[in-house]
A and B are shown apart, each in its own frame.
Chain A
């Protein structure tokens, strides 16, 4: 009788088994590819003519407005111009990487890229975006749109590069009169305070009031406030930054290219301590929020598990009153991002986190003329008004001539427009991703109690200084 106790395989047998095992392992990959989420299909086109002669491809974020943009393009732009528009939607987490990969290969696959405000420096350094303040585009006598059509507080951060936050926050837009333009506004957003109108009659004006109110509103079934504390993307940073700026903190000193004494200033440390104390001292914030992104926080609001939270408008404004998505329809109010009191000077400041996206023409596109036609149509008054009119699109136009119109449409559109003077953004240079990753890591470590706020921000200062000293674009 044979027992293969010590038997080993011949190479032929090994390959035979290995091929079978590899086949088994490939099953999830194949099924995964089959099950990969597809962008929503375009709505049926009602207008039959003319037959599209050209196809324009847009790489977009999967924001609520995108499907309505596709619908409008199919119903209005394509019949008018004969140019078919295909908008590919990508989740926020992956869009930046995808564009960078396309740019590095000088790809002409897409004619138009949507981008977040922080990415502009890196994209321009890579030569990804066509300059638009040139005779072929905005400076053409036949251009149907002008850069002056849009309000500068929002659009300068998206379209011009290089800029600086100090002048933009001070409203000194003349400083950028000759700064090149690379994009146009696509989706405008900032974080404001969402609160439950059935529980709060007057929304809190300052962060100290938020904290007190959150404590009193916390019950067994509901927390008073919600942060998003995830280490992924920019989630914890976009909640921390407006809190920190409002308390008088800064991320850095751009003139001196210095982190020490700014990112770890007493005001910055105070803000991070404040954030953490709401979780562990007051217990008015769910500790689970240490891994929450935009989705979990929105879910907490819509399921009635938190009384207040910062959240994006107009992006999610329409969802608050959608009975298919929300369990608190008619109970959500919107107030400006709370003000902070500087613990050192006693000064009161209010800042809202900026989070808008722009759109630009791929510098390697072979359809630049058609792309420019599309952008002129997209930014025209009629198209922008149609998007404002669609509550599900979560949209506010950057056009001056639609400002009053949008403000009268809904509370969330109005609060965004009121918050414009308060918006601030973080870095937008080509090294922003490294700076942000360090900040995310350190803030998250403090949030989960692995470091004190002082330790976390001291470590961030050291790591940031290395980047400031070595990044050629800063």
Chain B
């Protein structure tokens, strides 16, 4: 009995804060629920309505493009910058602190910050381009550039997270491996490929997992920077869900879309976790 008592607070916490809301929202997704009117059971109609809506597929494509581009760039830049910052050079401590700074900002603040910086006329980015003789760009008003801007801001904010994981991973590499490989006349590239990269495999897979989950839910920066515009060109699934839920207040349909997002994220996350984990006993060891 005693072990169950110790276990109870966690179970109660999970039931109240996670399991009940999830089941409740699943139930809501089967009803037509609009503010001030009695709920009507409509089965899977909300799901059907979403899946036949071209706006959903457009938002899914936008979300996919942002996720693939942002996560790829974050991982590549994270490794490169992480390797540079891992060196023992004077002043790098301060640089590390500055590099982590974007990650510490609230996405809402970030959205406003970049929105003003990327303004075609009033923004500092175009001012700098003009200084070097480049014609100002419509960062947030031209469809493709608006998408690029969102990816750029996500990369700016979250590359530090990958750097953090990479630097943690680099601490686990035994220095003697480099010493031995140097004696074996291994080139720098070979050392990176054969020693560094294998040790970074786990942190990088985790970075991909966390960043993919997070980017698939991207809302704040898009909502503040473009509102999903121009038109609906940068509307992500989360922005679409917010509009349905909190602007139109069609709660049932918003719950259904949330569940679709959950399914997409769960499938992708499960695939990634499967790649990362193995059953006990099958761990590969040395030769």
Residues of A bordering B, CB below 8 Å? 1-11, 13-14, 17-18, 20-22, 24-25, 27-29, 31-33, 35-36, 96-97, 100-101, 103-104, 122, 125-127, 230-233, 286-288, 290-292, 296, 299-300, 303, 305, 430, 433-434, 437, 441-442, 444-445, 447-448, 450, 472
Contact = CB atoms under 8 A, between A and B. Distances in A.
Interface of B: 35-37, 103-109, 115, 119-122, 138, 140-143, 157, 161, 164-165, 168, 177, 180, 194-195, 198-199, 201-203, 206-207, 209-210, 214, 226-232, 243, 246-249, 251, 273, 275-278, 280, 282-287
Contacts of B35: 100, 103-104, 122, 125-126, 430
B284 A288 contact: no
A104 B203 CA distance: 43
A135 B180 CA distance: 92
Contacts of B107: 28, 32
Contacts of B140: 290-291
Nearest to A103: B35
Nearest to A446: B231
Contacts of B143: 448, 450
Contacts of A7: 198, 201, 283-285
A95 to B, nearest CB: 11
Contact of B276 (A14, A97, A232): A14
Contact of B230 (A11, A13, A33, A450): A450
Contact of A305 (B121, B141, B194, B249): B121
Nearest to A104: B35
16 contacts: A8-B277, A9-B277, A21-B161, A21-B210, A25-B210, A27-B103, A28-B157, A29-B106, A104-B35, A104-B249, A104-B251, A305-B121, A434-B247, A434-B248, A448-B143, A448-B230
Given A24-B161, A97-B246, A433-B248, A18 B122 contact: no
Contacts of B226: 231, 291
A434 B284 CA distance: 57
Contacts of A122: 35-36, 249
A84 B287 CA distance: 75
A437 B243 contact: yes
A409 to B, nearest CB: 32
A464 B227 CA distance: 20
A17 B202 contact: yes
Nearest to B35: A126
B75 to A, nearest CB: 13
Given A104-B251, A433-B247, A434-B248, A28 B104 contact: yes
B104 A31 contact: yes
A286 B284 contact: no
B248 A286 contact: no
Of all A-B residue pairs in the complex, the 7 with the closest CB atoms, nearest first, are: A32-B106, A2-B286, A231-B229, A288-B120, A126-B36, A232-B227, A290-B141
A223 to B, nearest CB: 8
Contacts of A126: 35-36
A32 B122 contact: no
A13 B276 CA distance: 10
B85 to A, nearest CB: 15
B286 A1 contact: yes
Nearest to A125: B36
A10 B249 contact: no
Nearest to B225: A291
Contacts of B231: 231, 441-442, 444-445, 448, 450
A196 to B, nearest CB: 18
B53 to A, nearest CB: 12
Nearest to B214: A25
B70 to A, nearest CB: 15
A31 B122 CA distance: 28
A291 B119 contact: yes
Nearest to B282: A8
Given A21-B165, A444-B231, A296 B141 contact: no
A5 B195 CA distance: 8
Contacts of A29: 106
B261 to A, nearest CB: 18
Nearest to A431: B248
Given A8-B276, A8-B284, A444-B229, A288 B246 contact: no
Contact of B122 (A96, A230, A299): A299
B134 to A, nearest CB: 16
A3 B122 contact: no
Given A20-B168, A288-B120, 18 more contacts: A3-B198, A7-B285, A9-B277, A17-B202, A18-B209, A27-B103, A31-B104, A32-B107, A33-B106, A35-B109, A97-B247, A100-B35, A122-B249, A231-B231, A287-B120, A288-B138, A291-B119, A442-B231
A103 B168 CA distance: 47
Contact of A35 (B106, B199, B207): B106
A126 B34 CA distance: 9
